[in-house]
Amino acid sequence: MKDFENELEKQFLMESAPGAYAMFNGKLYSYFGGTSYYELHKNDLVINSAVNAVKQYGISSSSSRNSFGATQLIVDVENEAANYFDCEDAVYLASGFLTDQAAIQALLNQNLFDVIFMDEISHYSNEYASRLSGKPVHTFSHLNPVELEDKVTTICSGNLRPLIITDGIFPIFGNLAPLDKYIDIAEKHNGIVWIDDAHAVGVLGENGKGTIEHYKVSCDRLYFGATFSKAFGGYGGIIPGKKDFIKEIKCNQIFSGATPVPSPAAAASLTGMKLLKTNHELRKQLWDNAKKLKSGLQSLGLNINNTHVPIAAWSMSSKSKMQNLQNELMRKGILIQYVQYVGAGEMGALRIVVFSTHTTEQIDNLIDELRKTL
Ligand SMILES: Cc1ncc(COP(=O)(O)O)c(C=O)c1O
């Protein structure tokens, strides 16, 4: 609970759609926060599809999938997702948070692992899901395949099968999991890998398929899930995969005991996927902006990674220094986030996110103002 106290104290109220400019508490800011990487949450095509869906279906089907709650729209999202991610099938769940629980439960039911090894700052949803599985959970140092392999070798000692759990992109510092190395370890020890790819889908890989496409890996031991609430401009969790795995998830109460995602959100997710599938220019623009932002931050002496992930963050020596810096930028009409969240460390961090729609002037202005303030 402590993590959230500071966030709640601030009471930032968003009064517009998220985008390169967004309104908070009556003031329009040049906005570098959140996760709407392409501003699709306010894209006309996305919004029109959501409006049409709500007119046709109402807010939701008001019934679970196993009774009368399925709609053609929900099935279309699953089919389109299977197609987008080039998988046999997909299942659409009420939130990204739930994908980890549903998937890990299904992997357990399929008897595919005995022990969990999780990156120490995996998202809350991964941690929750791991603990709920009832299997032993061991953590390994952030992004550290060497330590992971040591632990797997010692703990599994040749007969227990590991499930390696990680985020694809970590939400605060935007670090990328060394997935290729985790796959090698899984293969060597008869294990499997689960990736929460919430921040990477739509963003990484030539076709926006996420971390797996970024590393150009393919492996039967690899499972992943994601959310539509970030890059895709929609809402809800998605797990693409092999037919038997998806079928197992559909037997789970997380799937069968819940009303499906509300129709406007489902329609938005469907349209967002179609847009990101065909519009490679958007992704190029996002990567270019990520590069601009990161080289600007590096020019200020900040230790920022060089990937084209559109997230950057750093910590300072005290919480008050970071809050003062955030406040100073707010006075200049720029909103970045001082964040206390999983992976931000004891002190918290200053997090900046760039969108495909930020202009060069906005990014340059942010860097100039930071130069004056740091
Ligand atoms: C890595 C990660 N996984 C899962 C989630 C949860 O996704 P959703 O907000 O769609 O429930 C988040 C959320 O913000 C996230 O950052």
Could you give the domains of the chain? 2-31+280-373 (3.90.1150.10), 44-278 (3.40.640.10)
For a mutational test of ligand 1's pocket, the pick from 125, 173, 199, 351, i.e. the residue with the most ligand atoms closer than 8 A to its C-beta, is 125
Q: Would you say 314 and 303 are in contact if contact means Cβ atoms under 8 Å apart?
A: yes
For CA atoms 106, 111, 112, 117, the dihedral sign is positive
Q: Judge if the beta carbon of residue 95 lies within 6 A of ligand 1.
A: yes
For a mutational test of ligand 1's pocket, the pick from 229, 239, 337, i.e. the residue with the most ligand atoms closer than 8 A to its C-beta, is 229
Per-residue pLDDT reduced to its tens digit, 223-242: 999 999 999 999 999 999 99
Rounded CA gap, 311 and 316, in Å? 17
Q: Judge if the beta carbon of residue 227 lies within 6 A of ligand 1.
A: yes
Give me ligand 1 centre to Cα 170, in Å: 10
Q: Judge if the beta carbon of residue 233 lies within 6 A of ligand 1.
A: no
pTM: 0.96
Residue recorded with tokens 């084209």: 308
Q: Judge if the beta carbon of residue 171 lies within 6 A of ligand 1.
A: yes
The pLDDT, as a whole number, for residue 158 is 75
Q: Judge if the beta carbon of residue 336 lies within 6 A of ligand 1.
A: no
Give me ligand 1 centre to Cα 199, in Å: 8
Please, what is the angle between helix 360-373 and helix 319-331, to 10°?
130
Closest CA to 290 of 356, 232, 365: 356
- CB atoms closer than 10 angstroms to residue 277: 15
Below-50 pLDDT ranges, the chain? 1-2, 4, 7-8
Q: Where are the alpha helices (DSSP H) in 58-144?
A: 72-84, 96-109, 124-132
